[in-house]
Structure 1
Amino acid sequence: MKEYLQEFRESYRYTPSDFEKLGGIWPLRVGQNKAKSNYIVGPRVIDCYSLHFIISGSLFLSHGNEYVKLTQNDIFCLHPHIKYSYSIVEDDPDTPLRMFWMAFNGTQASPMLKYIDVSEERPYLRNRMTPELLTWVKTLFQLIADKENNAVIRLQVTLYNIFNMLTPLTVNSPEKAHANEWLKKSVDFINTHFTEGITVAEAVRVAGVHRSHFYNEFNRLLGMSPMQYLMKLRMERASGMLKNTRLSVTEISLSCGYLDLYSFSRAFYNYYGLSPSEYRAGVPVKVNPIDVRSTTKKRNKQNVIFL
């Protein structure tokens, strides 16, 4: 490592190829350091994400509105465009502050962090470093340091393995494991096939639980009924297509899983308080979609096709 004013540091930059950017996540920088007694970074912002792995020692992290002390085996993440700073807690020759870090970006970067329970509000994980995880972090560091031209796939595998090892073990009982499993299966099914005219009954069959239990648990855990969730996905898709494409209302209705224009137009009006054509023309939405759902039955009595 090279000596600097506040630390000993070794770091390497990485420029992802167009091929790598077709994936969901790619590395930008890796580094390791050993801090001196005057070590402080920031305050500043960055344009990417950066995971820091504390190997020894401790530091104070200020990130957005968060201020926290982190120690050996903790991990923290810097988020883009959020002001941060961090500094050494104390200079102990026996346990100096040492870290590895990796900066990354990509369309999956934010969802990946949420998947491992890291967010802007709580950008750290307590006591999550393990010898195996450290091995993967060092492997990523070495691959980028060595600048191997044929290491693209290995880089991707290594990066995803690091996140895989940080995946939280949140299931504490067989009952909870079963609930998480069937709910995820049903939500994944709806998310994947909502434009294909599926019904809630099909999602129930995928879940493999009793219909009433499905409705109760779905509503409790997602905050809405299965039908409301299905409607939300279809209406968000429809509104985007009305704004951003030149497809006819009929074509959009068929593309969103409706069998005919009448069913789509009625559902759209019940959700937004406007006909699809009014929405496309830029007429202000009359009601909040959440409020509209409670009046769906009343509005379903209208026998008008909104063209």
Structure 2
Amino acid sequence: MNDLLFSVFPNENFVDIGLYQYGWEHCAPAHSFGPAARNHYIFHYVISGTGTLMADNSAGETITYQVKSGHGFMLFPGHINTYIADTDFPWEYTWVEFDGLRAKEIVETAGLSPDHPVYHSHSADLRQKMMEEMLYISHNSQESSFHLIGHTWLFLDYFMRSAETVRMKQDGSIRDFYIKEALSFIEQNFQNDISIEDIAACCGLNRSYFGKIFHDTIGRSPQEFLISYRMTKAAELLKITALSIADIGNAVGYPNQLHFSRAFKNVYGMSPRNWRMKNRLVEKKPPVRK
């Protein structure tokens, strides 16, 4: 068996949770990575051995953690990290890099944050199932995008349930209900002329309070989320259909083509027409060792 498995996910058009890269490695003694900051969440689960994580907390201070088998660690977007395998008992780990509109909520539900990046499980059974899902993803990169995303959701389910804190179970229930109601309303009405007031009203909340709990949970404002959701749907239509730019804009809630093109360019850095020309066919990126 090789000492390293590494794959890059070929499709990034999943809205709630996207998969970026994943793998498994039995590290050489003192093997290190970093210091570096990542663009997405990366969770490492340590199967055997031990190592050291040096991670910046929310105040920008570098904290050192010893991480051993049965534990894990989360790398947070924009935070600098270095991790080093032990000299005598180097770790073997599997990892998954993910992100999306639900990522922040999932990680927080598990009780992890830049101030608490180390994963501890209260259930050996759930932890084992989580590891099995991570290894399945790592060993089955040839499967379809939807197949791998399905197993990513299973991994995240076991991840949350094995690590979620009592505090989140008690305090998060009402807030979670409001956020789920809001997300469901957006998913069903994004193509219509809806406002943030409309979304707040569906939850029975005033706009100010709704905006605060939405941002605290999702990590972006309701307006940013709505625009991002619409543009992701637009990108999917540009990629897989022959609909005109105007028809696609109208399908995602922008009857004015100019307004749609401007919003799309703000998110993707290019016009819808240019994005379609560049992305009409999916190009698989060659693996790059992590």
TM, length-normalised to structure 1:
0.53
Task: Select 1:56's aligned residue among 48, 52, 66.
Answer: 48
Q: What is the identity, as a one-letter code, of the residue corresponding to 1:118?
A: L
How far apart, in 1, do the equivalents of 2:137 and 2:118 lie?
21
- Would the aligned equivalents of 1:58 and 1:97 in 2 still touch at CA under 8 Å? yes
- Would the aligned equivalents of 1:116 and 1:163 in 2 still touch at CA under 8 Å? no
Correspondence for 2:94: 100
Cα deviation code 1:222-269 (max 9, x no counterpart): xxxxxxx635147889x998xxxxxxxxxxxxxxxxxxxxxxxxxxxx
Cα deviation code 1:59-97 (max 9, x no counterpart): 1100113211111111111122221101123413xxx41
How far apart, in 2, do the equivalents of 1:79 and 1:41 lie?
15
Deviation, structure 1 residue 99: 0.5
**Secondary structure, counterpart of 1:80 in structure 2:** coil
Q: Which runs of 5+ in 2 are unaligned?
A: 57-61, 186-196, 215-220, 224-290
How far apart, in 2, do the equivalents of 1:70 and 1:230 lie?
44
**Secondary structure, counterpart of 2:111 in structure 1:** coil
Correspondence for 1:40: 32
Correspondence for 1:16: 11
Task: Select 1:155's aligned residue among 148, 151, 170.
Answer: 148
How far apart, in 2, do the equivalents of 1:143 and 1:89 lie?
28
Question: Cα 1:142–1:188, aligned 2, differ >3 Å: closer, same or farther?
Answer: closer
Question: Are 1:79 and 2:76 counterparts?
Answer: yes
How far apart, in 1, do the equivalents of 2:49 and 2:107 lie?
24
- Would the aligned equivalents of 1:36 and 1:91 in 2 still touch at CA under 8 Å? no
Question: Are 1:166 and 2:163 counterparts?
Answer: no
Deviation, structure 1 residue 187: 7.0
The aligned length equals 195
Deviation, structure 1 residue 162: 0.8
* Aligned-pair identity (%): 14
Q: Radius of gyration: which is bigger?
A: 1
Q: Which runs of 5+ in 1 are unaligned?
A: 3-7, 204-228, 242-307
Question: Are 1:114 and 2:108 counterparts?
Answer: yes
**Secondary structure, counterpart of 1:166 in structure 2:** helix
- Which structure exhibits the higher relative contact order, with contacts defined as CA atoms closer than 8 Å and separated by 6 or more residues? 2
